[in-house]
Amino acid sequence: MILDCDPGHDDALAIMLAAADPHLDLLAITTVAGNTTLDKATLNARRVCTVAGISGVPVAAGCDRPLVAKLRIADDIHGESGLDGPAFGEPSVPLAGEHAVALMRRLLLDHPEPVTLVPTGPLTNIATLLRDHPSVRPRIREIVLMGGSTGRGNITPYGEFNIFVDPEAADIVFHSGLPVTMIGLNVTHQALVTPEVVARIRALDTPLAEVCVELMTFFGSTYERVFGLPEPPLHDPIAVARVIAPGMVRCVDAPVAVELTGAHTRGATVVDLHRRTGAAPNAQVALALDVPRFWDLLVGALTTLPGP
């Protein structure tokens, strides 16, 4: 799989889970502007790889702005650096020389098996890939994205951040005709980082676990300030978990439209769960997470990474 991300506290844990799991072959980590600017998100991806001891996985920078919209970042949640909390040293993991979209194209065309794409940021890189390189389409096994919601949003009343930042890109992906799975807020809010979860991570008693505790502590403090929710939802790793163990996330087929023009709802995912529109389903929409199994998977992954 290829992880396309905008680290970001929960993206950081998604990187660790994707790199650690023995069932996954993580071919690349690509970055996109979202939670923070492209430069900072890319630096953060390299920092995460360095602190987790992830080597040999190329990190490539992609699009620095949405297709049409002006970039909106989430520094209220992720801080000024995009990954506030721990003190990171200079990363030793290098930046790949290739643009993320070019790297994805090359990996997709060269790899003997179709490859799964897991976007956990705005969908700008993925939409650009599909728009500019349609020959890769048969090489994509599926797209399992964190974004959207069957209900309410988090950046606007009905807009989830990743979709809201680049709705035109999301529209291209949802209407690509490729197998798309949507891991939205309705399911990610089932994975709350409780004090018990933090205690389990702390008990691992490794330098990497300490970094994760610092990340989750900062993330919890901003969620409490912005949403009154001291136990933050760990959105992005759930998309990776769905690829590792599909049965962990229960999904239904449904039509999903992206609102591009609403006066108050631009960037909303309109999910026709009850099939009232007559539209054909274009996505598997996540509804329920096996929460204990998810935390076992994530905490287990942290024990297998070498660390700094």
The residues annotated as belonging to the active site are: 235
The strand ranges marked E within 32-138 are 59-61, 115-119
Residues 83-122 within binding reach of ligand BDR (CB under 6 A): 120
Distance CA 296, CA 253 (A): 27
Least distance (Å) from Ca ion to the CB of residue 134?
A: 26
Among 4, 84, 142, 160, the residue binding ligand BDR under the rule CB under 6 A is: 160
CB atoms within 10 A of CB 90: 8
Q: How many chain residues touch Ca ion (CB under 5 A)?
A: 6
The smaller minimum CB distance to ligand BDR, of residues 228 and 278, is found at 228
Least distance (Å) from Ca ion to the CB of residue 275?
A: 30
Contact present, 175 and 211 (Cβ < 8 Å): no
Task: Select from 137, 199, 207, 138 the least CA-distant residue to 173.
Answer: 137
161 contributes a contact to ligand BDR by CB under 6 A: yes
Query: Which partner from the list Ca ion, ligand BDR, none does 149 bind, CB cut-off 5 to 8 Å by kind?
Result: none
Sheet harboring 140-146: ordered strands across? 59-61, 28-31, 2-5, 115-119, 140-146, 180-183, 283-289, 249-254
Strands 249-254 vs 283-289: parallel, antiparallel or unpaired: antiparallel
Residue whose Cβ sits closest to ligand BDR: 161
Least distance (Å) from Ca ion to the CB of residue 203?
A: 27
Among 11, 21, 160, 166, the residue binding Ca ion under the rule CB under 5 A is: 11
Contact present, 198 and 299 (Cβ < 8 Å): no
Distance CA 148, CA 285 (A): 10
Query: Which partner from the list Ca ion, ligand BDR, none does 74 bind, CB cut-off 5 to 8 Å by kind?
Result: ligand BDR
120 contributes a contact to Ca ion by CB under 5 A: yes
Among 21, 84, 166, 236, the residue binding ligand BDR under the rule CB under 6 A is: 236
119 contributes a contact to Ca ion by CB under 5 A: no
The angle at the Cα of 66, spanning 65 to 70, to the nearest 5 degrees, equals: 80
Strands 115-119 vs 59-61: parallel, antiparallel or unpaired: unpaired
Q: How many chain residues touch ligand BDR (CB under 6 A)?
A: 14
The smaller minimum CB distance to Ca ion, of residues 6 and 259, is found at 6
The smaller minimum CB distance to ligand BDR, of residues 134 and 151, is found at 151
Residues binding ligand BDR (CB under 6 A): 8, 10-11, 35, 74, 77, 120, 146, 154, 160-162, 235-236
